Amino acid sequence: MSLSQNDAPLYEALLEYKENRIVSFDVPGHKQGKGNSELTNFLGKQCMSVDVNSMKPLDNLCHPVSVIKEAQELAAEAFGAAHAFFMVNGTSSAVQAMVMSVCKRGEKIIMPRNVHRSSINALIVCGAVPVYVDPGLNTQLGIPLGMAVEDVQRAIDENPDAKAVIVNNPTYYGVCSNLREIVKIAHKAGMKVLVDEAHGTHFYFGDYMPLAAMRVGADMSAVSMHKTGGSLTQSSLLLLGESMNAGYVRQIINLTQTTSGSYLLTSSLDISRRNLALNGKRIFENVTMLANYGRSEVNKLGGYYAFSRELINGDTVFDFDPTKLSIHTRDIGLAGIEVYDLLRDKYEIQIEFGDIGNILAIISVGDRILEVERLVAALSEIKRLYSKTSAGLLDHEYIKPIVVCSPQDAFYNEKIQLPIEETVGKVCAEFVMCYPPGIPILAPGELVTKDSLDYILYAKKKGATLLGTEDMNTEKLNVLK
């Protein structure tokens, strides 16, 4: 039997399972919802009836041989990958599987410092040592950019024993590095290229999008289908190129992945993949149109700067994701986090994140023009009612880290907890970050500097949610003894 992108084998198998009205003496104990009427009323019978366990007709995520295998093959084909894994613990787990598939304890891995915490978490677990490449910086907007090819080359030359290079494609803000060139120079040095495409699902389907990892020969990519592709939260894909051993990667995934993979999550991947394969081009044309419209209307309001492809500079901004509606807010005298809070508290509009100088609205498969109008109208009102002089706003976002030891050594070594104000000059033993975006201000193994401390205290004052530290209030910090 040969399958096409019109099929959704896992979804179809679940439908058939439902129709067969199997009597279940297996887990989950709610037995198609009958054992938990309140939850069934809330989520719906349909949903509960397919929340089932692995079984022969429905395959097994840990060892796929039938419908999950077929669904993964279709996903691989749709994304132009040699192999695809359905992931049920978020793109974080896909990123960790990438790192752990290519690095062992003590081995080096080259990465931009503005990676998501999941990459550095993987280093704590497996003991690999990061070689950070400072990303470019746009000082006007206060945002970190992509990696310059020259900087990656230098890191490769200085660390010829490194095993791999990690690239964000794109960054949270929508910035892409010159991925094709980075793949070329890394491969030349015998290093793998791992791509964090948490925000890049649509690159594989839309026209006029930045280049996708699998198209330029990257070795692995972690793709958040749930972020812009329409699948359920926590469902994600790990894509492999020809160079990778899929069986070994599966073993790595199974080290930490649940043995009770949710069929709600995996079927949502199957259905969303089919939708994107069949309709993705039209969907992302519409998404781009909405984002472009939002940008031009926001820019007409004055004071705000919704940035896009004009930032492209051939290197640290090699390309820009046009579906991202990133808006610089400092010139109306408000920190991004303040605008983010006003939108939610006063206007019932939830956006993705606000940082010191910017906000980010995600436009995706689920958006309509009516909601974009609400966002623009609310921003217009926020400017009219709340704008101030921009004096006194902090203007930088990226702080160059000083790495003293590996994340694993810092995390597991003897440490003490000190009031955060007293930690300058000490080696940080945990993460400190604003969430979202979840990019560490300090990572384990880095020196606490006056700059980083000032930034943390400022972000706190402006109302950012800080996390990562053992102390839930981020008043104390674990540092090495």
CB of 283 to other proteins, least distance (A): 17
Nearer to other proteins, 377 or 457 (CB): 377
For the beta sheet containing 466-467, the strands, ordered from the edge strand earlier in sequence to the opposite edge, are 440-442, 432-434, 466-467
* Shortest distance, position 381 Cβ to other proteins, whole Å: 4
Q: Indicate whether 384 belongs to the interface with other proteins (CB under 8 A).
A: yes
- Residue 26 within binding range of other proteins, rule CB under 8 A: no
- Chosen residue from 16, 157, 242, 373 binding other proteins by CB under 8 A: 373
Residue 370 vs residues 306, 367, 373, 376, 382: alpha-carbon distances, Å? 19, 8, 5, 10, 18
Spell out a b/e string for 11-45, using b for 16 or more CB atoms within 10 Å of the CB, else e: bebbeebeeeeeeeeeebeebbbeeeeeebeeeee
Quick one: DSSP state of residue 53?
-
| Listed ranges 15-23, 191-199, 378-386, 470-478: which one lies at the site for other proteins (CB under 8 A) | 378-386
Chain residues 271-310 in contact with other proteins, contact rule CB under 8 A: none
Shortest CB 390 distance to other proteins, Å? 22
> Is the CB of 159 or the CB of 380 nearer to other proteins?
380
Find the shortest distance in angstroms from Cβ 345 to other proteins. 10
Nearer to other proteins, 84 or 379 (CB): 379
Options 105-113, 183-191, 371-379, 466-474: segment touching other proteins (CB under 8 A): 371-379
Determine the Cα–Cα distance for residues 290 and 202; give it in Å rounded to an integer: 14
Contacts of 358 (CB under 8 A, 6+ apart): 141, 142, 143, 173, 326, 327, 328, 329, 336
Q: How far apart are CA 205 and CA 174, in angstroms?
A: 16
Task: Tell me which long-range contacts 185-190 makes (C-beta under 8 A, separation of at least 24).
Answer: 185/149, 185/152, 185/153, 185/156, 186/152, 186/156, 187/217, 189/156, 189/160
With binding defined as CB under 8 A, does residue 380 bind other proteins? Answer: yes
Given the complex with other proteins, which of 160 and 366 has the nearer CB atom?
A: 366
The CA–CA distances, whole Å, from 341 to 304, 329, 355, 364 equal 16, 13, 11, 21
Residue 370 or 472: the one with the smaller Cβ distance to other proteins is 370
Q: Indicate which single residue of 369, 395, 402, 419 sits in contact with other proteins (rule: CB under 8 A).
A: 369
* Nearest partner of 294 among 362, 386, 349, 203, judged by Cα: 362
Q: What x/- string results for residues 324 through 363 when contact with other proteins is judged by CB under 8 A?
A: ----------------------xxx---------------
Choices 107-115, 373-381, 425-433, 469-477 (CB under 8 A): range interacting with other proteins: 373-381
- Measured from the CB atom, the residue of 17 and 347 that comes closer to other proteins is 347
Are 148 and 93 in contact by the 8 Å Cβ rule? The answer is: no
Q: Which residues bind other proteins (CB under 8 A)?
A: 346-348, 369-370, 373-374, 376-378, 380-381, 384-385
